[in-house]
Chain A
Amino acid sequence: MTDRVSTVRVGIVGYGTMGAGIVQVAAAADCDVVVVDTREEALERGRALLLESVHQAVARGKLADDAPETILSRVESVTDPRALGDCQIVIETVTELLDVKAAALEEISRCVDSEAIIATNTSSLSVTSLAANVSNPSRFAGLHFFNPAPVMRLVEIIPGIDTAAGTVDRLRVWAAEVGKEPVVVKDQPGFLVNAVLMPYLNQAVQELDRGLASAEDIDIAVRLGLGYPKGPLELLDLIGLDTHLHATTSAYEETADARFAPPPMLRRLVAAGRLGKKTGSGLRTEERHE
């Protein structure tokens, strides 16, 4: 038995919240990690995010006291993408915009070996359309982590039209090695989790607007009656009403499925700047007038 769980060298491109979370997941499972972002300031912000998250995990007893040191020693952060050259898996986590992701994937393709796995951590873009930017798309797939990545156990693996079965298998094995629960899902808007979550959240806003019950009672009934960790309206406040509006509008445009159509009340609240927790008022968070 070796000391290390995984000997895979992993590249992460983009050191934002998701990037830092995935860096932690990989490094905590003994992978060597190279993380690349375009500017030194971005790397510094990413390092701060990683540090904070690792210390939180220690405080919660999820990581050993000496884990931060070990984890940080496995992570190299650079601005030069050529450092990805000897990675076996590279995960792209840059901003969720088609052209930004396209540019990042082209760059990654130029830097890595033709057999290295390239994965995109997208939540809303089509894996098949992103594959056009990758040389040898058979080694490319979607790898969707949930926020916060160190806490949420699920990972959706999304093969594009050209993805080889071997690529899916390697990602599945790696995801399990780093302690995640991988599921394989078709390339469709929202993949699986968001495809069933978004209509449910839209329905909650509609039922509230129609006066089925108070916002609080809807959340209580769902938590106590169905055992979900949060009610739909408090979950929306947490996600951010603007974030949900953007995601569900984009799914609606792609599918013309009425279940994704953003409810009028959602648009009204976003227009009024009531975006949820981050603005201090939303569906459950009361606005306090002085």
Chain B
Amino acid sequence: MSDLARSRIGIVGAGTMGTGIAITAIRAGFATVLADAVSAQLPVARDYVDRFLGQSVQRGKLTPVDRDTALARLSLADDFERLADCDIVIESISEDLQAKQELLKGLGEYVPEETVYLSNTSTLSVTAISAGAKQPDRVAGMHFCNPAPLMPLVEVVDGMLTSATTHALALELAQALGKTAVEVKDSPGFIVNRFLIPFENACIRELERATATVEDIDRAVRFGLRHPMGPFQLLDTVGLDVHRAVSLSLFEQLRDPVFAPPPLVDQMIAVGHLGRKTGRGFYQYDEPGMFGT
């Protein structure tokens, strides 16, 4: 058994991404603490884990015994003291630079010096997140895709001060979690969002210009480029508000207009057409639902 396999993983932030990463970790055999300062979030997360693994059993992807073993590896906490014996902490709180910086500084009180800290940021600079940390060489970016238990990719990102050891550990961890890692420069949006956001904005602009209808643009992208979903199906699933936030963040950092959210996005948000979750986005839905259900 290597050192890594014995590692305890702490995950901070029990939202969809953090909980998804926790599922990935316990399934891969890691003892895992999922922590969130908002204690009301914990039963929601627990319920999500139970449902997800229950479905895996129903679909024959997991035996009931393996599910129970995996569940036994998970503990939930609303205080960060429980992270004290974690070798690796994965941060998955909201995309707010200051909050991420403060969390990283604050965790210094609880976790040992050797702990490696991985940020699941999708749009912020890993270098900026690590700034002010006591040991910025132990900080790296590890960006999972949503839904984390199902998507095979992680983007591993070095900040300016990340050490080679930390980088190597992130790559090794990705592999142990059953993921394929790519190595990306600390540059806004990394690879996935760097390409996705301008593509979606371009499709929204074509719609604004009436190049084609929503349905026809989606069909053109699915059947002409063989993408798994049309851009508007995907935007409705992700949520227009989320798309706007990611777009704006990349635009503010890169100052390239291809990242700027087109006016139609603001208009749709103003009238509450956020996508599936509000029952209406580019399409209309019978029942509002959350991503991943």
Contacts and interface: CB of A to CB of B under 8 A. Distances in A.
Interface stretch (A76-84, A189-197, A237-245): A189-197
A204 B195 contact: yes
B52 to A, nearest CB: 20
B51 interface: no
A220 to B, nearest CB: 5
A152 B209 contact: no
Interface string B194-234: 11101100110010011111001101110111111100000
A29 interface: no
Contacts of A210: 187
Contacts of A207: 191, 194-195
Contacts of B182: 213, 217-218, 220-221
A211 B158 CA distance: 14
Given A196-B221, A221-B191, A227 B228 contact: yes
Interface size bracket, B side: 35 or more
Interface string A200-236: 1001100100111110011011101111110010000
Interface stretch (A62-70, A131-139, A177-185): A177-185
Interface stretch (B30-38, B123-131, B149-157, B284-292): B149-157
A193 B195 contact: no
B192 A193 contact: no
A283 B122 CA distance: 27
Contacts of A212: 184-185, 187, 190-191, 194
Contacts, number: 124
A218 B185 CA distance: 11
Contacts of B210: 186
B226 A229 contact: yes
A192 B212 contact: yes
B151 A224 contact: yes
A85 interface: no
A284 interface: no
Contacts of A146: 224
A36 to B, nearest CB: 27
B258 interface: yes
Contact of B191 (A181, A195, A217): A217
B184 A183 contact: no
Contact of B145 (A192, A195, A225): A225
B180 interface: yes
Assign chain A's interface to a size class.
Answer: 35 or more
Given A212-B184, A225-B191, A183 B216 contact: yes
Contacts of B199: 196, 200
B183 interface: yes
A224 B178 CA distance: 13
A199 B211 contact: no
A220 B195 contact: no
Given A196-B199, A199-B258, A213-B183, A188 B211 contact: yes
Given A192-B217, A232-B195, A224 B152 contact: yes
A259 interface: yes
A218 B182 CA distance: 8
A153 interface: yes
B191 A192 contact: no
A181 B226 CA distance: 12
A96 B114 CA distance: 63
Contacts of B153: 220-221, 224-225
Contacts of B209: 186
A156 interface: yes
A222 B195 contact: yes
Contacts of B225: 193, 197, 228
A225 B219 CA distance: 20
B185 A193 contact: no
Given A193-B220, A203-B195, A220-B153, 8 more contacts: A156-B220, A183-B219, A192-B224, A193-B224, A212-B184, A213-B183, A221-B184, A224-B152
17 contacts: A153-B223, A184-B213, A185-B211, A186-B210, A186-B211, A188-B211, A192-B216, A192-B217, A196-B221, A199-B202, A204-B195, A210-B187, A218-B182, A225-B145, A225-B192, A227-B227, A228-B228
Nearest first, the 5 A-B pairs at minimum CB distance are A183-B216, A221-B191, A154-B224, A217-B182, A154-B223
